[in-house]
Amino acid sequence: MSDAIETAADAHTPAETPGARDLFSKFDALINEREAILAAGVRDPFGIVMDEVKSPTLAVIKGKDTILLGTYNYMGMTFDPDVVAAGKKALDDFGAGTTGSRCLNGTYQGHMEVEDALKDFYGTSGAMVFSTGYQANLGMISTLAGKGDYVILDADSHASIYDGCFLGDAEIVRFRHNSVEDLDKRLGRLPKDAQKLVVLEGVYSMLGDVAPLPAMVAAVRKHPNCMILVDEAHGMGFFGPNGRGVYEEQGVEGDVDFIVGTFSKSVGTVGGFCVSNHPKFEVLRLVCRPYVFTASLPPSVVATAATSIRKLMGAGEKRARLWRNSKTLHGGLRELGFTLGTETPQSAIIAVILTDQTQAIGMWQALLELGLYVNMARPPATPAGTFLLRCSLCAEHSEEQVGQILGIFAAAGRAVGVIV
């Protein structure tokens, strides 16, 4: 008996199983590449641990004070005293979690309050909160566009937008990044009577470039049966007079049917949402699988989000500081001779483009050793096979910190040979 068990166990040991039976074999190239990088003494760009977080712009990494220039904490709300206090109170009053779906036992007073805060922030009649922004895109796209419908999306769309398409049954049509002409052409080839969902982003997160929304909306409106969804994940908080996003700044509010967003960036916590004025919006709560079949956000999270969203409504000074920081960093990096993702600063994201993986990793590590954390991004997450260091600014970066950041870039760039 015991022999039989041992034999069966042995037969399932991957090391002794022919490669063809190992579902992990498709990852071998990645495993080998990663092991080679780590063996060369490089820190793991995707394995950073923040041992202590001192503020929205400063953390301790491996015992060293490190300036954070690779977070989505654009408005620096993570340590806002009112936001933190609201979270603590909700934890005391309502407990650690809801243990259930929004459709069953998982809707608390706090979930209604954060949806009210969103309706006030966006000036819409409907708001629906998901557990993450990723799920908001999964849910909205897969539920709105079904069999026989079309989703038309920018080729550089975020993974959650692509995954929303894969979860649904609609036909997927991609157009060239930010190309109004290509969008128009591809819409023109689709059956006139078919229902279509056009998905755009306000700010594209890899290069930090902004979409030409008025021209895109005008192109879409030439074709029948199109609804428009804009993902404003990276625009909320600081674009437009009310901080609603690029679509507000560019004056196309009346033309957009759905706005998707996240609490994990300017809001400073976690969660996702969609807002809309569509009169039938509420039905989505019954039919949207990534909303129905998952637990709702914990009470502490929705309380921090509601407080943060209401504070962002009057955050004009923070907005101005964020833009000032973005302009100073963009100008400074250009002057040093770095190649950047955009000609001018378009958002709070500034991408430094490097030639290959070796240069990108070398530069990333040199910055870290000098006390600066940025995001390293590589294909397939990046457009056109580029390797880049993505810098994202925070309203709470001081002028002195921005100066330090430029000094660190200059030293690392010269040490690695990216600039002279």
Residue closer to ligand PMP, measured from CB, 102 or 158: 158
Amino acid at 21: R
With contact defined as beta carbons under 8 Å apart, do 229 and 200 qualify?
A: yes
H or E stretch covering 109: helix 109-122
Query: Closest CB to ligand PMP among 300 and 328?
Result: 300
**How far is the C-alpha of 141 from the C-alpha of 164, rounded, in Å?**
5
Q: How far is the CB of 302 from ligand PMP (least distance, A)?
A: 14
Query: Do 371 and 64 meet the contact criterion of CB atoms below 8 Å apart?
Result: yes
Which residue of 66, 107, 137, 250 would you call a contact of ligand PMP, by CB under 6 A? 137
**Number of neighbouring beta carbons within 10 Å of residue 5:** 9
Which residue type, as a one-letter code, is found at position 90?
A: A
**Only segment of 22-30, 126-134, 358-366, 388-396 that touches ligand PMP (CB under 6 A):** 126-134
Interface residue with ligand PMP among 73, 143, 178, 205 (CB under 6 A) is 205
- Exactly one of 107, 142, 262, 300 binds ligand PMP (CB under 6 A); which one? 262
> Nearer to ligand PMP by C-beta: 137 or 382?
137
The reply on whether position 233 binds ligand PMP by CB under 6 A is: yes
> Pseudo-torsion of CA 376, 381, 386, 389, nearest 10°?
-20
CA-wise closest residue to 223 among 258, 191, 267, 266: 191
Number of residues that bind ligand PMP (CB under 6 A): 13
Among residue numbers 143 through 182, which ones bind ligand PMP (CB under 6 A)?
A: 158, 160
Among 71, 107, 132, 296, binds ligand PMP (CB under 6 A): 132
CB of 162: closest distance to ligand PMP in angstroms?
11
DSSP structure class, residue 57: T
The H-assigned helical ranges of 177-245 are 180-188, 213-221
Contacts of 242 (CB under 8 A, 6+ apart): 121, 123, 248, 313
Nearer to ligand PMP, 115 or 201 (CB): 201
H or E segment and range at residue 273: strand 272-276
Chain residue whose CB lies nearest ligand PMP: 133
72 three-class SS: coil
Part of the chain binding ligand PMP (CB under 6 A), chosen from 129-137, 148-156, 381-389, 391-399? 129-137
CB 296 within 8 A of CB 106: yes
Asked if 264 interacts with ligand PMP (CB under 6 A), we say yes
At which residue do the structure tokens 């009057």 appear? Answer: 314
> Taking a C-beta distance cutoff of 8 angstroms, is the pair 263, 273 a contact?
yes
The stretch near ligand PMP (CB under 6 A) out of 116-124, 130-138, 221-229, 245-253 is 130-138
Gap between the Cα atoms of 163 and 24, Å rounded: 22
C-alpha–C-alpha distance, residues 341 and 352, integer Å: 6
Which of 154, 156, 231, 253 binds ligand PMP (CB under 6 A)? It is 231
Residue 134 makes contact with ligand PMP by CB under 6 A: yes
Judged by CB under 6 A, which stretch of 127-135, 320-328, 357-365, 409-417 contacts ligand PMP? 127-135
Which parts of 189-283 fold into alpha helices (H)? 213-221, 246-249
**Which region among 132-140, 190-198, 237-245, 294-302 touches ligand PMP (by CB under 6 A)?**
132-140
Site residues for ligand PMP, 75-114, by CB under 6 A, read: none
Contact pick of 45, 126, 164, 272 for ligand PMP (by CB under 6 A) = 272
Q: How far is the CB of 260 from ligand PMP (least distance, A)?
A: 7
Note whether 200 and 231 are within 8 A (CB).
yes
Signed CA dihedral, 184, 188, 217, 391: sign only = negative
* 346 touches ligand PMP by CB under 6 A: no
Q: Is the Cβ of residue 59 or residue 233 nearer to ligand PMP in the bound state?
A: 233
Report, in Å, the least distance between residue 295 CB and ligand PMP: 15
Q: Which is nearer to ligand PMP, 201 or 249 (CB)?
A: 201
**CA–CA dist 299, 206 (Å, integer):** 32
Task: Give the interface with ligand PMP as residue ranges (CB under 6 A).
Answer: 132-134, 137, 158, 160, 201, 205, 231, 233, 262, 264, 272
